[in-house]
Amino acid sequence: MARAAGSEEDMHRIDIPETHTEPLASILNNLRLERCGTGRYRGQNLVQITGKVYGGQVLGQATMAAADDVQRSLGIGEDERLAHSITAAFQRAGHLDEPIEFQVEEINDLRSFSTRNVTAYQGDRLIFTARVSFQLRQPGPTLASPMPDVPGPEGLPSSVDFFGALDNVFAKVMSSTNGIDMRRVEGDIYLRPDPGRSPRQHLWLRARSPMPEGTSRTLQRAMLGYSADQFMLEPALRALGLAWLSRGISVATLDHAIWWHRNFDMSEWILAEMECVSAQNGRALVNAKFFQDGRHIASMSQEGMVRVPLPALN
């Protein structure tokens, strides 16, 4: 399909409603990519104590870029074609001090589906690739996994309170910049391993402050991708008898696939049911289902690098 040449409008940013409540305000501003021409976008980076770009940030930005390109190239609204899947690969670690340039390539625009490839660069360094698929709203048969029966989030320890109570640089950054409240049914493994070494765990999550009025369904989906990258590999650590602060541990996302099934609201509690299904050769694979109000809203798979000195696994 032929595209119109870039115009002055292309230099504007993706339209995302604003909030003045931090840290959600900074996250939404990060997803408000700058349009740099047809199929081209630029994004900045969120502060990270690791000194590297957070993978969930790039995943969320790529989702927003692909959706904006579909809507603009077809001249349609979000309701007409909504992202239903993304399959992403993290090629290299990103540097915090460099903006990220996203290039969106049209693969097809068919009667019911649209597909886009997204590549992300810092200078001439390719750091990320993804395929994002969109579908016209259509009726069809319905089937969904049942929501697990687990304790609710209200009585569980909050990640916000946990980091807020610690007096170190890492905790202060997490407390001030992480816009997601996480509550683990089986307990956290930040400082020490789970003695039970179960490969399964359940985690409640939601935005620390309500999403602003006018939030699109695309932005909700991008926010779930942004959120999940920080805990998807945790069942692998739990099963291997590791903690996030185990000596010598090195964890990084290699690839991440998301299938969005139903609409949801990041302002309300979402339950993640996760399982590590394999770990070998310094890699681990985790599958997850996400639920809200009894509905199966999304599924994910993530493979990541999990490396530790061998004695740590004894």
Question: For residue 183, what are the contacts with CB-CB under 8 A and spacing of at least 6?
Answer: 153, 156, 157, 158, 159, 203, 204, 205
Show Cβ contacts of residue 161 under 8 Å, excluding neighbours closer than 6 positions.
none
Residue 284 structure tokens? 């681990």
Name residues whose C-beta falls within 8 Å of residue 80's C-beta, 6 or more positions apart in sequence: 74, 136, 137
Look at residue 13 and tell me if it is in a domain.
no
Residue 96 belongs to some domain of the structure = yes
The predicted pLDDT at position 11 comes to 54
Distance in angstroms (rounded) separating the CA atoms of residues 180 and 166: 17
Would residue 125 count as lying in a domain?
A: yes
| 5 pLDDT more than 50 | no
Q: Which residues contact 220 (CB under 8 A, 6 or more apart)?
A: 211, 263, 264, 265, 266
Q: Say whether pLDDT at 274 is over 60.
A: yes
CATH number of the domain to which 53 belongs? 2.40.160.210
pTM attached to this predicted model: 0.93
How confident is the model at residue 311, as a pLDDT?
Answer: 64
Pairing of strands 113-122, 283-292: unpaired
Catalytic annotation, residues: 229, 253, 302
- The predicted model gives 144-170 an average pLDDT of 91
In a domain, 1, yes or no: no
- In-domain check, residue 223: yes
Q: In this structure, is residue 67 part of a structural domain?
A: yes
Model pLDDT, residue 47: 87
For residue 124, the enclosing domain spans 19-136+150-307
- Which percentage of the chain shows pLDDT scores above 90? 83
Looking at the 3D structure of the chain, how many domains does it have?
A: 1
Q: Is residue 256 part of a domain?
A: yes
Is residue 6 domain-resident?
no
